[in-house]
Amino acid sequence: MPFGHSGDTPTDDTIFGLIANDLEQKGYSIRHGALPLSLSNALLDYQHSISQKQFEEAGIGRGDDFVKTEFVRKDEICWINGDSEAGAAWLDWTSNLKTFLNRRLFLGLFSFESHFAHYAPGAYYKRHLDAFRGEANRVLSVVTYLNPGWQNADGGELVLYQDEQDMTGIKVAPLHGTVVVFLSEEFPHEVLPATRDRYSVAGWFRVNGSIDNRIDPPR
């Protein structure tokens, strides 16, 4: 059981229950230590093993609308498929989360896409929403962080704003194993620059957006 739980760590269903309650009450959830440590470690090891050329500069939009906008974001990304053991275990964990949330909250989540992200020192992602034109079927965003030993002075916080008017937001340090989940269309957010490399996985659950009998075409 390579990515299982040791005796006194909470089970996935306990964590999923807490996330579901948060989503029901607030529309977002911030849970430290929610990702099993063995899975966080495996994802971090795997991310370090991916060669630089497999990472791409991140852009905005998809298909013909895709643009690289340095002004908006400066991270590098690598999409996750199930080919690696760590990637498969992550997709398994998020699939279980999806099933749990669909049962509890009737969200109708259908598919999931996710990528590793690397923010070099000074990199950022300006305030944005995750669901925009052509991607209105992104329903739920999930982010987890892979940064053992992160200090407050390292910066790199996610700032989650309650709505378009909120200019203060809630700051979340990108601590190893912290999981943040929020409704993609409701919460503007940004990533502040850090003084060290910042590693994460960002993903999105979508409802079924089938077009022309192509089932929920991916990005």
Ligand X SMILES: O=C(O)CCC(=O)C(=O)O
What residues make contact with ligand X under the rule CB under 6 A? Answer: 117, 125, 130, 143, 158, 189, 191, 200, 202
> Tokens 């982010």, residue?
143
CB of 128 to ligand X, least distance (A): 7
| DSSP-assigned beta bridge partners for residue 182 | 28, 141
Q: Indicate the residue among 23 and 202 with the shorter CB distance to ligand X.
A: 202
Of residues 68, 148, 77, the one with CA closest to residue 114 = 77
In the shown chain, the binding pattern of residues 116 to 145 toward Fe ion, with x for contact by CB under 5 A and - for none, equals --------------x---------------
- The site partner of 191 among Fe ion, ligand X, none (C-beta below 5 to 8 Å per kind) is ligand X
Q: Which is nearer to ligand X, 103 or 128 (CB)?
A: 128
DSSP category for residue 3: T
Nearest approach, Cβ of 212 to ligand X (angstroms)?
Answer: 27
Residue among 71, 188, 45, 159 nearest 123 (CA): 71
Which strand (E) or helix (H) includes residue 25? helix 12-26
Residue nearest to ligand X (CB): 158
Q: In 3-state terms, what secondary structure has residue 214? A: strand
For Fe ion, which is the closer residue by CB, 16 or 161? 161
Distance of closest approach, residue 130 Cβ to Fe ion, in angstroms: 4
Question: Could you give phi then psi for residue 46, rounded to 5 degrees?
Answer: -65, -40
Judged by the rule CB under 5 A, the positions of this chain that interact with Fe ion are 130
